[in-house]
Amino acid sequence: MSEDTISLDAIQVWLQNALISPGSTSCQEIEKHLRPSAQLKAAQRLGIYQRSYYLRLLQCMREQFPALCHALGDQLFTDFAREYLQAYPSESYTLYELGRRFPQYLEQTRPDKDGLQQARESWVDFMIDLARFERQLFVLFDAPGHEGKLLADRTVPDHVLQLQPCFALADYRFPVASYYQQVRKGNNPAFPPEGHSMVAMARKNYLTRILLLTPTQHAFLTLLQQGHEIAYALELMALQLTLTVEYVYESWTAPDGIRKRWIDAGVFIHKGICGPESIV
């Protein structure tokens, strides 16, 4: 590398540091690198970039976490997101990755992290869970899916039903999915009381369906996610619930049972068959 290239590298490092940490440079240094204009000093000209750097990325964070922004209020959300961007500047060419580490960051920096587990404030748990939920939805929005190929219909037998690729299971300490839907509808929901909630998310025709689950349903889908076949998962559920396999099977296949609901929601594909999709 030539000396001149090193010089270009040095000025790029300097300018980038000046954007991310405006206090890292001095007026003297700024004037060494930048000219003033007729109307602005060199530092004021640099200030245009410095202000826009955070405003631009904060705008994207609000777009990626709209319900969390609603829950925290714009000012508090902005404070958290700004600190996050300082700690974790974007490392990707795509802005879609901007919020990837935000839920984890909120967990790591929670104000009560050094306190006893039982003394932790529940609203922080809610914020972290809501951030996890929104990030999951964002990922599913653009993940490779099964559109353009056949989803399973109700006639497909159990042994060839398979979870579709654009699918996620999650459990939360709060009913974040319900809260999210309220915000989506333009309502102003109150902080929900603590309550274990489990959801499945599956994308069909480019629309991500959010399915609320019981603990049993969640455990059943977890077995399928681990690669087990439906018959085996039903047997295991029967064992755990101390019910007969026949009873569990009847419940699974009931006319308005979860089998029908999940197939209609696009949870399953027909194993080994990927023909052209018939849009339902």
Partner 1 sequence: MPHSNLGLGLGLRNCHFNHILSAWPAVDWFEAISENFMDSGGWPRHVIRQVAEHYPLALHGVSLSIGSTEPLNFDYLKKLKNLATEVQAAWISDHLCWTGVQGINSHDLLPLPLTEQSLKHVAGRVAQVQDFLGRELVLENPSTYITFTQSTLSEPDFLRELCKQTGCQLLLDVNNVYVSAFNSGTDAIDYIEQFPCEYVIQMHLAGHQHCGTHIIDTHDRTVRTAVWELFRLAWLRTGGVASLLEWDGNIPPFEQCHAEILKAKDYMLGEFDPANVAISSETEKETISNPVGFLVPGVMDRTQAEGA
- In this structure, how many other beta carbons lie within 10 angstroms of the beta carbon of residue 216? 15
Site for partner 1 in 237-266 (CB under 8 A): 261, 265
Q: What would the two tokens of residue 234 be? A: 């039903």
Interaction of residue 16 with partner 1, rule CB under 8 A: yes
Least spacing, CB of residue 21 vs partner 1, in Å: 12
Tell me which of 25, 57, 72, 132 binds partner 1, using CB under 8 A.
57
Nearer to partner 1, 48 or 239 (CB): 48
Assess contact for 134 and 67: CB atoms under 8 A: yes
Minimum distance between the CB of residue 84 and partner 1, rounded to whole angstroms? 14
Q: What does the alpha-carbon distance between residue 274 and residue 272 come to, in Å, rounded to a whole number?
A: 7
Please say whether the beta carbons of 72 and 106 come within 8 A.
no
Query: What is the C-alpha separation between 49 and 40, in angstroms, rounded?
Result: 13
List the interface residues with partner 1, window 108-127 (CB under 8 A). none
The minimum distance between CB 27 and partner 1, in angstroms, equals 14
| Closest to 122 (Cα-Cα) out of 131, 105, 110 | 110
Strand pairing category for 167-172 and 161-163: unpaired
Judged by CB under 8 A, the chain residues 148 through 207 that form the site for partner 1 are 166, 177-178, 180-181, 183-184, 203, 206-207
Backbone angles phi, psi at 94, to 5 degrees: -110, 140
Least distance from partner 1 to the Cβ atom of residue 132, Å: 14
Cβ proximity to partner 1: between 65 and 249 the closer is 65
- What is the residue-wise DSSP string for 138-159? HHHHHS---TTBPBP-TTS-GG
Residues in contact with partner 1, total (CB under 8 A)? 74
Output 137 or 233, the one with its CB closest to partner 1: 137
Binding segment for partner 1 among 59-67, 102-110, 215-223, 239-247 (CB under 8 A)?
Answer: 59-67
Nearer to partner 1, 4 or 114 (CB): 4
Phi, psi angles (nearest 5°) of residue 116: -70, 150
Binding segment (CB under 8 A) for partner 1, from list 39-47, 151-159, 187-195, 226-234 = 39-47
